[in-house]
Chains A and B, each alone.
Chain A
């Protein structure tokens, strides 16, 4: 609604769908926070949904996802909140004698203890192994209730990133980037002849020929712009 709207008694009615908007039979409906999603009986409240006085209520701006038993909201925009076993790309932000602090794009830096680091170093030798500003591919090992998290580099393929480019997309767009069963991502890798790793925190590592990297970047930017301009199509 862009302008010109004036409150008069005849247009000040509020729609009141007793059954909630999901009963209109439209797939993936867009909702705003506070919107009523109908009775909670027979449905569980999933992500972004709260049960209040026997009714379900949206707490986030996004699309309604109803799988029959659970109603959840797929948010249009969201901050990255780490979960255990997430694959993430982080930057070394600082270090002490035996700990690295890794920026993983979450509200808090994660810690990477030397015991979970990439190799052996003497006490005090953290910077000789990985210096501040370097990028690492790591996995979230543990997240506490207070959002402090521990990452590990012990595992298949987890390493320091020495080549290529790192791009950032909003975490909620990763599903679209990867596609069903990884189809879209596979296609992108084939088309551009690049190595691509999509991390759960929305950072994307691209390595390959210059033209390929540029092509992937363009595609990522186009996807982000598209999601932002329409809003409804994320």
Chain B
């Protein structure tokens, strides 16, 4: 959170810098089968964010030391392309991508039926091609569509959305400016069919009432995005 409290990002009518209302999502579109050689793949375009996820497996688990005798392991790699941001991202793993890979794997592990594939590995690769706030949400959403597309059994698909606070107002789906100069950011991973939560992070401060409001925005937005995910899967490959 940048903490530039004097940056005006929402007017008295509740219109935000990009013309959305407080509860509006950026436009979301999802395609499946964008990587023909992968077992499953998906592209999510969410506002200006572009994420591609590819799933390979289940396959034999290498290195052997991470293999589990009773279930599969999820090997998630989140990566931002060097050209995804205006100031070049240094290629390779960094602290941030390692963290996001881990929280994404943790969120997906709670839905994928890993015990059906003992000793296997399921490789999930998430590549962010264009970044504009909320890439961890876009990446997680793309990964769960790609897993479903690969035919991996899972109890539900994870939908991830972030809400936050700008100029004291709680708003849904922060964009770049709101993320940088806003006061709080609350990304959540939601299972739309049961309403359960598998992932939550909070950056900044929210009062209990504001937290509830952001929570409700996320829950509502997750249902919308879930419908787009389901439509993408049912509509066939790109």
Residues in chain A within 8 A of chain B (CB atoms) = 1-9, 11-12, 14, 30, 32-36, 48, 50, 52, 57, 59-62, 75-79, 107-109, 145-147, 228-232
Chain A contact residues: helix, strand, loop or mixed: loop
Cβ–Cβ contact B149 & A230, under 8 A: no
Contacts of A8 in B (CB 8 A): 21, 23-24
- List 9 A–B pairs whose Cβ atoms lie within 8 Å, in order of A's numbering: A1-B30, A7-B172, A8-B21, A12-B220, A12-B224, A32-B234, A34-B155, A228-B236, A230-B236
Q: Considering residues A11, A34, A52, A231, which has the most beta carbons from chain B within 10 angstroms of its beta carbon?
A: A34
Interface residues of B (CB under 8 A from A): 20-21, 23-33, 36, 39-40, 45, 57-60, 69, 111, 113, 117-120, 147-157, 172-173, 191-193, 220-221, 223-224, 227-237
Chain A residue contacts of B29, Cβ below 8 A? 1-5
CB distance from B22 to the nearest CB of A (A): 11
Whole-angstrom distance from the CB of A21 to the nearest CB of chain B? 11
Q: How far apart sit A147 and B68, CA to CA, in the bound complex (Å)? A: 13
Q: Sort A-B residue pairs by CB-CB distance and give the 3 closest, nearest first.
A: A231-B236, A34-B156, A3-B29
**A residues less than 8 Å from B59 (CB atoms):** 107
Contact A33 B156 (CB under 8 A): yes
**Of A77, A107, A230, which contacts B57 at CB under 8 A?**
A107
Give the residues in chain A near B236, CB-CB below 8 Å: 228-232
- Besides A1-B29, A1-B231, 8 new A-B residue pairs in contact (Cβ under 8 A), listed by A number: A3-B28, A7-B25, A9-B220, A35-B193, A35-B230, A59-B154, A60-B151, A147-B118
Indicate which residue in B27, B30, B69 contacts A4 across the interface (CB closer than 8 Å): B27
List chain A residues, Cβ under 8 A from B234: 30, 32, 231-232
* Minimum Cβ distance to chain A for residue B72 (Å): 9
* Chain A, residue nearest B120 (CB): A107
Q: Are A145 and B118 in contact (CB under 8 A)?
A: yes
Q: How far is the CA of A79 from the CA of B120 in the complex (A)?
A: 12
Q: State A17–B130 Cα separation when bound (angstroms).
A: 38
Q: Is the CB of A60 within 8 A of B237?
A: no
A7 contacts B228, CB within 8 Å? no
Instruction: State A79–B39 Cα separation when bound (angstroms).
Output: 8
Question: What is the bound-complex CA distance between A8 and B156, given in angstroms?
Answer: 24
Most buried by B among A4, A9, A32: A32
Instruction: Given A36-B193, A107-B57, A232-B236, answer yes or no on A9-B23 (Cβ-Cβ < 8 Å).
Output: yes
A171 to nearest B CB, angstroms? 10
Using Cβ atoms and an 8 Å threshold, which residues of chain B touch A79?
39, 57-58, 150-151
Docked pose: A115 CA to B19 CA in angstroms: 73
Please tell me if the beta carbons of A59 and B119 are within 8 angstroms of each other in the complex: no
Q: Known A107-B117, A228-B237, A231-B234; judge A32-B223 contact (CB<8 A).
A: no
Q: Known: A1-B228, A77-B40. Contact between A33 and B148, CB under 8 A? A: yes
Question: B227–A1 contact, CB under 8 A?
Answer: yes
Best-surrounded residue of B21, B32, B117, B193 (most CB of chain A within 10 A)? B193
User: Are A59 and B155 CB-contacts (below 8 A) given A1-B232, A32-B233?
Assistant: yes
Taken together as a complex, chains A and B put the C-alpha atoms of A62 and B152 apart, in Å, by: 11
With A76-B151, A228-B33 as given contacts, are A5 and B117 in contact (CB-CB < 8 Å)? no
- In the assembly, what is the distance between CA of A174 and CA of B150, in Å? 17
Question: Complex Cα distance A75/B237, Å?
Answer: 15
**Which residue on A lies nearest to B219, using beta carbons?**
A12
In angstroms, Cα B93 to Cα A123, docked, is 48
Q: Which residues of A contact B23 (CB under 8 A)?
A: 7-9
When the two chains form their complex, are residues A108 and B119 in contact, meaning their CB atoms are under 8 A apart?
A: yes
Known: A7-B24, A12-B224. A34 touches B192 (CB 8 A): yes
Q: In the complex, which residues of chain B have a beta carbon less than 8 angstroms from the beta carbon of A9?
A: 23, 220
C-alpha gap A126/B176 in the complex (Å): 63
Query: Chain B: which residue is nearest A61 at the CB level?
Result: B148
Q: Is the CB of B119 within 8 A of A146?
A: yes
